[in-house]
Structure 1
Amino acid sequence: MIIERAYASGGGREDGEWPWTLPCVREFLAEGLRFTAPVTFLVGENGSGKSTLVEALAEGFGLDSWGGSHDWRYASHRPRSVLGERLRFDAAPRGRSMLSSWSARKGFFLRAETALDALDREGFAPDSVSHGEGFLAAFRGKFHQPGLYVMDEPEAALSFTSCLELLGHVDQLVKAGGQVVCATHSPLLTALPGADIIEVGEHGMRRATWDELALVDHWRRYLTDPHSYLRHILDQDVSPGSAG
């Protein structure tokens, strides 16, 4: 592992505006966030703040908030976020030399919506493959050395089998000394053995097992009986056997 804890330094606005209104951010400001495993998943509904947290973690570590590697810090010229500029870290033993200076830090921030742009900026994005294949090419080419790798919903471009391949890359990255923090909606990714799962929501942040996750429960029930969900949102009869 590279980092054991992330926390916010003193100073800065906490005046009831976004992102300070997010329960997970308020808890982070008060207590910080400890990392207990080489892979950490942040899980929660849209708007819960999980992407805000992972973006701040990436910025605080020196990765471009638009997405990219340690070699392209702030290449997009975006200003650092009010939370990201306050981030500080407690190093794990393996990460002490890396955290000793900006130039020693290694890693990559992968955002679903800007991934191919970031890769193209680094001269890496292949032109003749699909969006999902481009993602996997990034993992093969960029996620292979000790460092902090932050991902925001990487499953967005990936099929079921590609998500499984991604888990294989994550496993190899961790064995090579990397650390991964990932915001996700995927029950497939969060099933990775040994991963630490943090559920983000109105409660703030709480650790959970895979079986306890609301998203796992919803997917199980939906796959068992889609009608039990669809009848609440569709005007037509969607019961099995209804005329189409």
Structure 2
Amino acid sequence: MRKYHVHGYRRAFHPQAPAWVDDVPAFRALRDGLDLRRPITLFTGENGVGKSTLLEGLAVSCGFNARGGAFGEEMSGRENPLRHAATLLRGPLAMNGHFLRAEAHYEVAREYNRTHDTDLYTLSHGESVLRIVQDSFHGAGLFLLDEPESGLSLIRQMTLLAELHQIAEAGAQLIIATHSPVLLTLPGARILEFTADGGILENIGVEETTAYRALRDFLADPHSIADYMVDVTGP
């Protein structure tokens, strides 16, 4: 039986939990707990449902730096956003891996450049994300990725999909927050879509996700959709 670094994440009803926790849709979904025992788990849903903050809380609970980077790097002073609010269910494997945050990616580039031959500052944002995946991800770790598609063209998103699939096949555990219909097609992935009302759609197919359906509708009639959006957002 395959072993995992983390088994789940569950709401902890602690008196010191911040009051705002139950106002965030993805956090309300923690009441019944999240089963993370799959090689690949994908968090998706509209902006504002709390995917990234949920992933950050999970990462810090695992011992990663809140700003991102490889496991074992010095922890930052930022407090876990879900401290007192959620409990990590650990697996039997020793923790190692990487927390990749698209929004803070270049903040950790200096440390990466110090320990690797590649200078990430000479690459585009998307190229540097792919380089870290190719150089630092392996089949024995936990890899948390927050919107890794940021800065990547559609073709490079397909490249990233292939890289992540190979890593998972080699034994890694991946938990990814994404808006990308491309990454949502990762073979064997479990998709969890968080909704604005605090619900969660579990074990859905990519064709059922909001991200896929929105892209499908746009590609079916791009000009009409563009005209409509311009009209409804105009003065």
Identify the TM-score tier after normalising by the shorter chain.
Answer: 0.7 to 0.9
Q: Does the C-alpha gap of structure 1 residues 226 and 142 become closer, same or farther in structure 2, counting only changes over 3 Å?
A: same
C-alpha separation in 1, matches of 2:84 and 2:67 = 15
Equivalent residue, structure 2, for 1:20 = 22
What is the root-mean-square deviation of aligned Cα atoms in Å?
2.1
Equivalent residue, structure 2, for 1:132 = 126
CA contact (8 A) 1:39 1:196 kept: yes
Percent identity at matched positions?
Answer: 32
Is 1:4 equivalent to 2:12 in the alignment? no
What does the per-residue CA deviation read over 1:74-112, in whole Å, with 9 as the maximum and x for residues that have no partner? 1xx332224046543334xxx4141xxxxxx10111111
Equivalent residue, structure 2, for 1:48 = 49
Aligned length: 223
Asked which structure has the greater CA Rg, the reply is 1
Equivalent residue, structure 2, for 1:217 = 213
1:206 to 180, 201, 204: 201
TM-score (norm 2): 0.86
Is 1:120 equivalent to 2:110 in the alignment? yes
Superposed displacement of residue 169, structure 1: 1.5
AA partner of residue 32 (structure 1): G
Equivalent residue, structure 1, for 2:152 = 158
Superposed displacement of residue 176, structure 1: 2.4
C-alpha separation in 2, matches of 1:234 and 1:210 = 28
Equivalent residue, structure 2, for 1:102 = none
Q: Does the C-alpha gap of structure 1 residues 85 and 137 become closer, same or farther in structure 2, counting only changes over 3 Å?
A: farther
Equivalent residue, structure 1, for 2:97 = 107
Q: Does the C-alpha gap of structure 1 residues 12 and 178 become closer, same or farther in structure 2, counting only changes over 3 Å?
A: farther
Q: Does the C-alpha gap of structure 1 residues 140 and 196 become closer, same or farther in structure 2, counting only changes over 3 Å?
A: same
Gaps of 5+ in 2: none
Superposed displacement of residue 39, structure 1: 0.5
Written as runs of structure 1 = structure 2, the 5 A alignment for 1:158-237 is: 158-203=152-197, 204-207=199-202, 208-235=204-231
CA contact (8 A) 1:112 1:156 kept: yes
Superposed displacement of residue 9, structure 1: 3.6
Is 1:147 equivalent to 2:148 in the alignment? no
Superposed displacement of residue 36, structure 1: 4.1
C-alpha separation in 1, matches of 2:127 and 2:84 = 33
AA partner of residue 218 (structure 2): Y
C-alpha separation in 1, matches of 2:174 and 2:84 = 20
